[in-house]
Amino acid sequence: MLTAVRASRVLTMADQRPASRNCVEKPPVSGAVPITDSDISCIHDGVIVAENGVIIDVLPYADFTATYGFAPQNLGAVTILPGLINCHCHLELSHLGGIAVQQQGFPAWIGSLLAHMGEAVTDQALDAALAEMAATGTVHVADVNGRAPLPVYEAAKHHDVGIDLQLEVFGYAFPEGFTAADLWDFFLSGTASGLPDDVRKRNTVLAGHALYSTHPAALVFAKHWCRSRERHFSVHLAEQADEEEMLLRGTGRLREMLNQRVLPADYKAPGMRPVAYAAELGLLDNGTLAVHCVHCNDADIDLLRDTGTHVCLCPRSNEYIGVGTAPVHKFLDAGLNLCLGTDSLASNHDLNLWNEARKLRDDQGVPTHTLLRMLTVNGAHALGLSDSLGTLEPGRHFRYAVLPEDLLL
């Protein structure tokens, strides 16, 4: 069945490519007209034609009327672009909005949540979270999950939001001799046991929590599992100064907190900065999504660039917790593939990706055309979804978002 939508401007993003040197550049869509003062091209009065949910044509309306014998749905005087991709979220924390302390640093933030971590997310909280995502243009989310993958998946499916379930490897309580297969079997026999088989095969990956909280061998095995199956691997990295102090010197508030609940008695700090330590463990390559990356110096940025690692920025979560501001312009100058995530409602006021873009625009002067790449084509590349999402061109899924007026190019 053919369907079509018409809009005053269509930003296909098909002439864009992520900053990563590993992505092949695609030619622009026929009929595209450059937007003034921008490197993103646009089809004015454009139409997207789809068949059974897959785009088969993107063209000016005049060409559409000469080719197709039906009227498109007219969206009016709006600008549309590919549906947004939220590259980092924790939907299982959706019931914890407004509980945590703000802007007092990571140990204080996590400490204020500990009493609530055993509470199961409610169906109402998940429904509201996914409804907000869908209403604000998000069509796919990468969700870190350790306790509630099935209800999160079902809520995402109900709201027609695609999802990657990143089953999170955490802690040090792993038996001697465990393997990557053991990690996967652990999730399949536990929290992920109710997931449909096709979801396990298509939408589920292993992810590491962080270098400071997870057995290094478990992180290596999780990365190996993802690499061997050509799936992306996600890890929180260089988010906070306390993390850096703990890994470098084995001291600080974070170390004291983890001593009580997570770390073994014989824990020894590696004596390395987070990014360097991740590289030493072999966790960084073009299949890895490093989340946050707030505390990165020039050597760290070089490592991220040289390994082809993707970086997910969560600027409003960083501000909410009080961990600092990522060196975005240095990342851009280095050519890193940057994408955006909201993180969770435990560390943010909403799950609206446009607000992450506004934060970078208003606070750091990141231009809109760069932000649109982060929200679409860059995110698709980071998650291995470039064949289905990130651009509006034939062969991609028929998923689009409406550009807010205050972000018009």
**pLDDT given for residue 26 in this prediction:** 34
Cβ atoms of 235 and 201 closer than 8 Å: no
**pLDDT value of residue 169:** 95
On the 0-12 / 13-18 / 19+ scale of CB atoms within 10 A, 360 is buried
pLDDT band at 183 (very low <50, low <70, confident <90, very high): confident
Integer angstrom CA distances of residue 286 from 7, 202, 378: 35, 19, 13
Quote the tokens at residue 385: 């979804």
pLDDT of residue 177: 85
pTM: 0.94
Give CA angle at 241 (285, 18), nearest 5°. 30
The pLDDT assigned to 66 comes to 96
State the pLDDT at residue 39.
58
- Token pair, residue 344, equals 């969770």
Per the DSSP assignment, residues forming a β-bridge with 291 are 236, 312
Nearest alpha carbon to residue 364 among 340, 398, 384, 395 = 340
Contacts of 258 (CB under 8 A, 6+ apart): 212, 213, 246
Residues 159-180: tens digit of each pLDDT: 999 999 999 999 999 888 888 8
CB-CB contact of 46 with 58 (8 Å): yes
| Amino acid present at 97 | G
Question: Bigger pLDDT: 45 or 39?
Answer: 45
Q: What percent of the chain has pLDDT over 90?
A: 86
Backbone angles phi, psi at 53, to 5 degrees: 85, 5
Residue 312 is encoded by which pair of tokens?
């997910």
Are 262 and 110 within 8 A, CB to CB? no
Q: What does DSSP say about strands 84-89 and 138-145: parallel, antiparallel, or unpaired?
A: parallel
Domains for the chain: give ranges and CATH numbers: 2-82+396-407 (2.30.40.10), 84-382 (3.20.20.140)
Question: Does residue 110 carry a pLDDT above 60?
Answer: yes
Is 161 in contact with 138 (CB distance < 8 Å)?
A: yes
- Is residue 192 helix, strand or coil? coil
Q: Are 292 and 237 in contact (CB under 8 A)?
A: yes
Helix (H) or strand (E) holding 140: strand 138-145
Residue 1's pLDDT is 87
pLDDT over 80 at 25, yes or no: no
What confidence score (pLDDT) does residue 41 get? 81
Which residue blocks in 267-337 are alpha helix, DSSP H? 274-280, 298-307, 315-321, 328-334
* Chain-centre distance for alpha carbon 79: 23
348-388 pLDDT tens trace: 999 999 999 999 999 999 999 999 999 999 999 999 999 99
pLDDT band at 134 (very low <50, low <70, confident <90, very high): very high
Q: What is the pLDDT of residues 381-403, one digit of tens each?
A: 999 999 999 999 999 999 999 99
Contact 81, 401 (CB under 8 A): yes
Average pLDDT for 122-135: 98
Q: What is the mean pLDDT of the chain?
A: 93
Q: Residues 274-284: pLDDT tens digits?
A: 999 999 999 99
State residue 23's pLDDT score: 33
pLDDT (tens digit, 9 = 90+) per residue, 60-72? 999 999 999 999 9
- Average of pLDDT values for 295-299? 98
- Res 19: pLDDT: 58
Q: What is the pLDDT, as a whole number, of residue 239?
A: 98
DSSP-derived letter for residue 383 is: T
pLDDT at 192: 87
CA distances 165 to 83, 91, 190, 277, 357, Å, are: 19, 10, 14, 26, 24
> To 5 degrees, how large is the angle CA 353–CA 358–CA 364?
125
The secondary element (H helix, E strand) that includes residue 123 is helix 123-135
Over the stretch 212-261, which tens digit does the pLDDT of each residue have? 999 999 999 999 999 999 999 999 999 999 999 999 999 999 999 999 99
Q: Extract long-range pairs of 305-309: CB within 8 Å, 24+ residues apart.
A: 305/334, 305/335, 305/336, 307/279, 308/20, 308/21, 308/22, 308/337, 309/284, 309/285, 309/336
| Residue 187 pLDDT | 86
Q: How many residues does the chain have?
A: 409
How sure is the predictor about 181, in pLDDT bands with cuts at 50, 70 and 90? confident
pLDDT tens for residues 11-21? 999 988 775 43
Chain Cα centroid distance, residue 14: 20
Q: Could you write out the three-class secondary structure of 48-112?
A: EEEECCEEEEEEEHHHHHHHCCCCCEECCCCEEEECEEEEEECHHHHHHCCCCCCCCCHHHHHHH
User: pLDDT tier at 145 (50, 70, 90 boundaries)?
Assistant: very high
C-alpha to C-alpha distance for 234 and 143, rounded to whole angstroms: 10
333/192 Cα distance (integer angstroms): 40
The average pLDDT across 34-54 equals 80
